[in-house]
Structure 1
Amino acid sequence: MALPFLPAEHIPSMFDELDEHGDNDRLDAVMAYVFSIWINRSVFSMECWSIFMKGVRTKNECE
């Protein structure tokens, strides 16, 4: 998923929109994992893992 490329305030609504379109058990399992670990947890704020408008932090831009 490319959610970290979005502004932090758009991530929850886009995640919900993507989750609505899931139609198989494997995708539902992945979405449940992402929700429980990344969206619904307070360990890492979305501002922390959103890379929207952040500079490249490596010498190799392909990484």
Structure 2
Amino acid sequence: MPEFENLKVKRNLTALVEFSRIINSSLDLDFILGNVLLTCMGKYLSSRGLIALHQNGNYVVKS
């Protein structure tokens, strides 16, 4: 596997481990969603993002 692919796989696995750590660290949904959003924004070099949850047939923006 080329070095570039190794770095890409390592970065993805690191993000997955970070998601797991965040999800298991708290029971506060807003805290978890905010941190997951920040992690995604950092990984994809984005300056904006949102998380919408499907509740009672509608989408509700949470973060």
The TM-score, its normalising length taken from structure 2, stands at 0.34
Greater fraction of residues in helix: 2
Larger radius of gyration: 2
Structure with higher strand content: 2
Q: Which has the higher contact order (CA 8 A, sep 6+)?
A: 1
TM-score by length of 1: 0.34
